[in-house]
Amino acid sequence: MKVVLFCTKPYSFSILRPLQIESEQAGDEIIWYIDSEIVNIFPFKNDSTITSSIQDIVDFKADIIFAPGNNVPYFLRGVKVQVFHGLAGEMQGHFRRGKKGHFRIRNYFDLYLTSGAFFTERFNKLSKKHGNFEVIETGWCKLDALFIQQNNFKEEKQDLLKKHKAQKILLFAPTFSPSLTSAEALFNEIITLSKNPDYLILVKFHDKMNKDVKTKYIQAAQPLDNLVIVDNPDISKYLILSDLMISDTSSVIYEFLFLDKPVITLKSSSGNIKWTDIEDSKELVSSVESVLKSDIHKENRQWIIDNYHPLSDGKSAKRMIEAVKNWLTKHPVPEKRKLSLLRKWKMSRKYGKIKNA
């Protein structure tokens, strides 16, 4: 099989990497399409075939195209597989407070691979409505590394706590959207928490976070021993290291919950809040103390685990590869997708003129 890993954002590196590994083990031929704006920070150059030329992908004539983003060129050969870039199921297909819905169908994909019943049921309904894609529940490949490594960093965690003379590690991971992010609203509270010697605060920004906000935190961290800005596109390690997450309406909340650890959010838009959500930034410091003392939402988290991602064996990428190959035993390899003239025009404007081999 010929497989394309279609990558346009840095956060997709860690999503697609498990699919590369599983495809290679199955003997497939793999190429990454990486947007030219991010190719210089691609971390797997030493053992990957990559290109930033869409013409190369046309000429490759893929059987399978995995894409975590919202779109993929309709004119490419291959079954176009949506693997998602997050688990923001709380949006339920609406545009809430400026963030596009997880369940919005854009007609680019032949196959949707879902992580759990909450998503499978909704996408199956949409599949019946639209009639141009199918749905298979496999688990989410990005979480393979999280589950496989969840016991790997115990020594590093103890070393970090010892180095910073702290008792607990708190991870602040706000989303980037201006209408949703808590980064500015919680700035003073994060600084206050970092001055508590019992806490080590790790700050992990989204790739698209406002640069001025990032600079503000970086400058604030310089004189503070217990405030560390994490500059790594893969958040998995820091989810494992941390005891508690602070966020807002970021889908990374769910990744943390799958490790059965507590979360505090500021004004979350979720329709399924199974954690501590505060309405006033001034509540954060006392909420952290309270949650660390008494984990009252532990039973509620199990509902999220059971419905959003019950498979924790670290083999989702393998299931995804097998699911698509099985699909191809029943369907021909798609040559293209039917799209509106507007979407075709947008694709032509983005990728330019393509020569068909």
Indicate if 130 and 266 belong to the same structural domain: no
Q: What is the pLDDT of residues 143-154, one digit of tens each?
A: 999 999 999 999
More confident residue, 155 or 349: 155
- Is the separation of the CB atoms in 133 and 109 below 8 Å? yes
Q: Is residue 299 part of a domain?
A: yes
Same domain, 160 and 303: yes
In a shared domain, residues 189 and 278: yes
Q: Same structural domain for residues 132 and 198?
A: no
Question: What is the rounded CA–CA span in Å between residue 177 and residue 188?
Answer: 19
Examine the pLDDT at 88 and tell me if it is beyond 70.
Answer: no
Same domain for 293 and 332? Answer: no
Whether 61 has a pLDDT exceeding 90, the answer reads yes
Same domain for 29 and 95, yes or no, is yes
Q: How much is the pLDDT for 272?
A: 79
CATH number assigned to the domain comprising residue 250: 3.40.50.12580
Q: Kindly report, residue by residue over 168-196, the tens digit of the pLDDT.
A: 999 999 988 888 899 999 999 999 999 99
Residues 137, 83 contacting (CB under 8 angstroms): no
Cα(115)–Cα(86) distance, integer angstroms: 10
Identify the CATH number of the domain in which residue 93 sits.
3.40.50
356 found inside a domain: no
Residue 8: domain span: 2-140+311-351
pLDDT at residue 99, as a whole number = 43
Residue-wise pLDDT for 275-327, tens only, equals 999 999 999 999 999 999 999 999 999 999 999 999 999 999 999 999 999 99
Claim to verify: residue 176 and residue 261 sit in the same structural domain: yes
Kindly report, residue by residue over 120-144, the tens digit of the pLDDT: 999 999 999 999 999 999 999 999 9
How many alpha carbons lie under 13 Å from residue 309 in its C-beta half-sphere? 28
Report the distance separating Cα 63 and Cα 263, nearest Å: 40
In a domain, 147, yes or no: no
230 burial via Cβ count (<10 Å: 0-12, 13-18, 19+) = middle
Q: What is the dihedral of CA 71, 77, 79, 83, to 10 degrees?
A: -30
Q: Are residues 234 and 284 in the same domain?
A: yes
Domain count, the chain: 2
- Distance between CA atoms of residues 81 and 110, nearest Å: 6
Whole-number pLDDT of residue 349: 87
Confidence (pTM): 0.83
Answer yes or no: is 37 within a domain: yes
**φ/ψ of residue 123, rounded to 5:** -70, -30
Contact in structure between 235 and 146 (CB atoms under 8 Å): no
Confidence band, pLDDT 50/70/90 cuts, at residue 338: confident
Model pLDDT, residue 91: 40
In a domain, 333, yes or no: yes
11 in the same domain as 100: yes
For residues 217 and 236, membership in a common domain is answered with yes
Whether 93 is covered by a domain: the verdict is yes
Same domain for 131 and 223? no
* Residue where one domain finishes, among candidates 275, 293, 308: 308
Six token digits for residue 106: 């854009």
Q: Residue 96: inside a domain, yes or no? A: yes
- In eight-state DSSP terms, residue 334 is P
Instruction: Please count the residues of the chain.
Output: 357
Residue 146 located in a structural domain: no
Tell me: do 274 and 163 sit in the same domain: yes
Averaged pLDDT score across all residues of the chain:
92
Element (H, E) at 303: helix 298-308
